[in-house]
Amino acid sequence: MARIKIVLPSNTLAVVNIPVRITDINYGNHLGNDALVSIIHEARVQWLRLNNYTELDVEGVGLIMSDLAVEYINESFYRDELQISIAATEISRVSFELYYSIEAIRNEKFILIAKAKTGMVCYDYTGKKVAVVPEKLKAILINI
């Protein structure tokens, strides 16, 4: 079976820390795949907030996720502190890709837990149509 392999870009836009909560733990006693997707979402929202945006208002347009890929690498456990580094590539007229490196900080060591990618599309929720990536957001994404 072919596995997803995500190559992380080097242009880190932000780093956020998110703890693994007891509600993130599954019956295998480790971080559940559904909880990891929620943590990725939280990391994206925190990155947007660092830039004074929300998913519904980035310079007047919203964001909608068009795809998601996750490469699971190691287990994470209750009380791990996750460090999520966010990067961007493939900036087009209406979309871009965000990449996430998710590492657990455990015993003063960094353990790669997962890599992920989300395809993000700028979206006009009122008009129900795609929108152009705002220039200010483009500048943030290319790390000017």
Instruction: Check residue 133 and give its pLDDT.
Output: 97
Per-residue pLDDT, 107: 85
Question: Above pLDDT 70, what percent of the chain?
Answer: 99
CA separation for the pair 30, 36 (Å, rounded): 11
Could you tell me which of 75, 136, 61 has the C-alpha nearest to residue 111?
Answer: 75
pLDDT in tens, 93-105: 999 999 999 999 8
Q: What is the pLDDT of residue 144?
A: 53
Q: How far apart are CA 142 and CA 13, in angstroms?
A: 9
* pLDDT for 3 beyond 90: no
Over residues 109-120, the pLDDT tens digits come to 999 999 999 999
CA–CA separation, 91 and 99 (whole Å)? 12
Q: How far apart are CA 33 and CA 39, in angstroms?
A: 10
Asked whether the predicted pLDDT for residue 63 surpasses 90, the reply is yes
CA 132, CA 48: separation in Å to the nearest integer? 17
Name the token pair of 71: 């490469």
Per the model's pLDDT, the better-predicted residue between 83 and 108 turns out to be: 83
Look at residue 86 and tell me whether its pLDDT is greater than 70. yes
113 with 102: CB under 8 angstroms? yes
Under the banding of pLDDT at 50, 70 and 90, the label for residue 4 is: confident
Over residues 23-46, the pLDDT tens digits come to 989 999 999 999 999 999 999 999
Tell whether the model's pLDDT for residue 78 goes beyond 60: yes
Helix/strand/coil (H/E/C) assignment for every residue in the chain:
CCCCCCCCCCCEEEEEEEECCHHHECCCCCECHHHHHHHHHHHHHHHHHHCCCECCEECCEEEEEEEEEEEECCCCCCCCEEEEEEEEECCCCCEEEEEEEEEEEECCEEEEEEEEEEEEEEEECCCCEECCCCHHHHHHHCCC
Position 126 confidence tier, pLDDT thresholds 50, 70, 90: very high
